Amino acid sequence: MRIALAGLQHETNTFAPGLTEAEDFLAPGGWPKQSRGDEIRTVLAGTSVPMAGALRVLNETDVTATPLLWTMALPSGRVRHAAFEALADEIAGRLQDQLPVDGLFLELHGAMATTEDDDAEGALLEKLRALVGPDLPIVVALDLHTNLSARMVAAADQMFAYLTYPHIDMADTGARAMQRLLEFVQGAPRPAKAFRQMPYLLPLVAQGTGSSPVDGLYRTAAARSGVDTMITLGFPLADVPDAGPALVVYAENQDVADAAADETLQQWTQAEPHFQARLCTAAQGVAQAMQSGKPPVVIADVQDNPGGGGSNDTTGLLRALIEAKATGALMVHIADGAAAKSAVDAGVGAVLDIDVGGRTDPGTGAPVPGPWRVAAVGDGQFTGVGPMYAGASIEMGPVALLEQQGVRVIVAEKRMQASEPALIHHLGLDPAELPILCVKSSVHFRGAYEKMASQIILVAAPGRVTMDLASLKYTRSRRRPASA
Ligand SMILES: [Zn+2]
């Protein structure tokens, strides 16, 4: 018995400038590199991505795993359609070469949009379904931020989304999906499906699965017996028709699926006024943090989250720290390859008259001028220890710790969401001992820092991962921002 596996992930922020190109899929910061065939087993071994969990399940059976292609790009602007088509064609071609197989496992993000198609995963799934015919079981592991479409639902026998945000169950989601695929392969009946979309868009900071009302809504859905409910919360920075939260109920017949889907949709619709996105300005957040005597206060720069397509180099919060003389505070991190290289070349102890950050988006804070003292440097190569990247070999390019008036900032060549403490350890610091730890992240930072933080403050410095969805000009989305 043989099962084919493929993975293609991109979360597209259609409001972000620029296109995502084929080369952006080769070696995304913090994530495994693009890999093919049996090489995938080695590249993904010990990592937290869904296909690693799926392969783990297959290793315990006598089923043969046939990995085809695994690739991911960091969240960014629309994918150049030709780049998407080349990857989709390669997956289809490699699958065709392996036919006949007994089942197909896919790891997809679910919120990829190209320059020509707002629903790239729908297109890929239709293509693969057409290739294998109606009977071959297909299961899909999806990100919680999927913008779910009817064609995705139709083409897959069952889909499984992460249950957590921060995403600490990515590999487990792949494992769950693979277990169900094995049941289908062994003859379990395919379920009936009922697909519903919630009538609103949710900002990222309102989507944490540890916060109300999301936690209670997830518990209610999981407790319903006799059905499997998949919920996706959507990626709102995408002006596409299917952006927003959605659900699919899988059940033994259509009536049961429809009844459960209608009831769950009603619960989510009634919850709309309770989704909160409380934010303060960077100056207010820094002032509040400086009043705390207990380390670390974590300040999240939620609108410059590279995991949502942020530039990772806005300077609003860094400037607020310097203006307030927040001695001992650390900003993680500013993606500024030129500054990192200058610091590594000059060495520890050097004082540099260079600008830091503020290079990408006008209006999100000007570069912060020197003098900057180089406090530590590194090669940016380390192994992840946090709940999202544990075991992953991370390559950030040259990195440095810079200091000005007691305020410290990590600069690195690559973008990466601040959910990985190993970057801080790499430069000789312990996050638990910092008076103020500033992170460029909306929610994922909580996986690494929520337990150690004495306080968490969310600030809205200018950045392209806006939480104020009403400020965006949607023209294609069928849904409106939630009114809290
Ligand atoms: Zn996600």
Mark out the alpha helices in 372-457 (DSSP H runs).
421-426, 445-449
- Taking the model in full, what pTM does it have? 0.93
User: If you measure from the C-alpha of residue 110 to the centroid of ligand 1, how many angstroms do you get, rounded to a whole number?
Assistant: 9
Compute CA 20 distance to the chain's CA centroid, rounded to the nearest angstrom.
16
User: If you measure from the C-alpha of residue 483 to the centroid of ligand 1, how many angstroms do you get, rounded to a whole number?
Assistant: 22
User: If you measure from the C-alpha of residue 145 to the centroid of ligand 1, how many angstroms do you get, rounded to a whole number?
Assistant: 5
Q: What is the largest CA-CA distance in the chain?
A: 70
User: If you measure from the C-alpha of residue 4 to the centroid of ligand 1, how many angstroms do you get, rounded to a whole number?
Assistant: 24
Amino acid (1-letter code) at residue 305? N
User: If you measure from the C-alpha of residue 164 to the centroid of ligand 1, how many angstroms do you get, rounded to a whole number?
Assistant: 9
How far is the C-alpha of 87 from the C-alpha of 40, rounded, in Å?
Answer: 15
How far is the C-alpha of 298 from the C-alpha of 147, rounded, in Å?
Answer: 30
User: If you measure from the C-alpha of residue 166 to the centroid of ligand 1, how many angstroms do you get, rounded to a whole number?
Assistant: 8
CA-based torsion, 15, 16, 20, 26: positive or negative: negative
User: If you measure from the C-alpha of residue 369 to the centroid of ligand 1, how many angstroms do you get, rounded to a whole number?
Assistant: 34
φ, ψ for residue 230, nearest 5 deg: -105, 130
Q: Are 159 and 125 in contact (CB under 8 A)?
A: no
Question: Which residues does 60 contact at the CB level (< 8 Å), separation at least 6?
Answer: none
How many other CB atoms are found less than 10 A from the CB of residue 280?
A: 15
User: If you measure from the C-alpha of residue 448 to the centroid of ligand 1, how many angstroms do you get, rounded to a whole number?
Assistant: 16
Tens of pLDDT, residue by residue, the chain (484 residues): 999 999 999 999 999 999 999 999 998 877 899 999 999 999 999 899 999 999 999 999 999 999 999 999 999 999 999 999 999 999 999 999 999 999 999 999 999 999 999 999 999 999 999 999 999 999 999 999 999 999 999 999 999 999 999 999 999 999 999 999 999 999 999 999 999 999 999 999 999 999 999 999 999 999 999 999 999 999 999 999 999 999 999 999 999 999 999 999 999 999 999 998 789 999 999 999 999 989 999 999 999 999 999 999 999 999 999 999 999 999 999 999 999 999 999 999 999 999 999 999 989 999 999 999 999 999 999 999 998 888 888 999 999 999 999 999 999 999 999 999 999 999 999 999 999 999 999 999 999 999 999 999 999 999 999 999 999 999 999 999 998 6
For the chain, which residues make up each domain, given as ranges? 2-274, 282-466
Residue of 288, 285, 219, 225 lying closest to 461 (CA atoms): 285
